[in-house]
Amino acid sequence: MYHADEARYENMTFQRCGRSGLKLPAVSLGLWHNFGRVDSFENYRAIGLRAFDLGVTHFDLANNYGPPPGSAEENFGQILRDDLAKYRDELIISTKAGYLMWDGPYGEWGSRKYLLSSLDQSLQRMGVEYVDIFYSHRPDPDTPLEETMGALASAVAQGKALYVGISNYRADMAVEACRLLREMGTPCLIHQPRYSMFDRWVESDGLLDVLEREGVGCIPFSPLAQGMLTDRYLEGIPSDSRAAKSHGFLQQADITSARLKQIRQLAEIASSREQTLAQMALAWVLRDPRITTVLIGASSVAQLEQNVGCLANRDFNSSELSSIENILAQR
């Protein structure tokens, strides 16, 4: 029988999400990888419970997480039933809809039909009456934004979600989404974009400025650039790494000699800070006060603990920031 660590809130930092009343842990656990049916249940159960013991109260899912799609929600639902049910009111559970889940014209994107049907399926898979946050996972080029945002507002009105968010929306569309949700009486709580040292589009696009003006929180995903900002690639491309596989988001072509040079130089700065490269990369994302929480993945309890350890040193001096910028400017 699982009993949560009584000291779980002593070392975790909680930050207010935009202008809402909700606070999120500075580190949140994403179940995109390693929580599917093809993975070890005992391993991801151990990761999930250890995360909660460390004060990570936010578990981030989506309808298509697995593989296969839906299995991450099913597995998290089992952990919730077996171990975390009595702590439900301490948990923030989020899910999303937007990517392909079933055949036919209503199985993906942003129609009201798809979003609300998907949410019902997600609730059933997890065995919960509501999620804390429900996201539009990606903008739909063919569905009016009013319809997509209206579906999110309906989810709250129906008691199936407490808050709503958007993911992968560019700055101009995020402005309009926030306006629509505000007029519907369901303000946008949070935005989940991709952001890391190696992928800074949220800065150049002006998205972070938009979120600050709109009072919306920000939870970046892929803060380690699909593993590039870790010690995994200091000596090249390991045979069992994501980049070595023929499928996935990270390809061997991404690990150029110039990129490897940057990784090694950044690792030297991290070492001088008594951090791993991954810890420094997470702390770097969190350096910006517009960032509410950073989304991490984990394949083991040890990796989870190491990543949460980024909170032990979140401050950068001007020399460190300048050196990092100089390294990132290299081509």
Q: Tell me the percentage of the chain whose pLDDT exceeds 90.
A: 92
pLDDT the model gives residue 236? 65
Given a cut of 80, is residue 80 above it in pLDDT?
A: yes
Q: Which domains does the chain have, with CATH numbers?
A: 14-232+276-315 (3.20.20.100)
| H-helix segments, the chain | 41-53, 71-79, 112-126, 145-157, 171-183, 201-204, 207-214, 257-272, 277-286, 301-308, 318-328
pLDDT the model gives residue 243? 54
Q: How confident is the model at residue 235 (pLDDT cuts 50, 70, 90)?
A: confident
pLDDT tens digits along 120-171: 999 999 999 999 999 999 999 999 999 999 999 999 999 999 999 999 999 9
pLDDT tens digits along 239-267: 555 555 544 566 666 788 899 999 999 99
Largest CA distance in the chain: 55
The pair phi, psi for residue 20, each rounded to 5°, is -85, 180
pLDDT tens digits along 110-121: 999 999 999 999
Whole-structure pTM value: 0.95
Q: How far is CA 210 from CA 175, 204, 224, in A?
A: 7, 12, 24
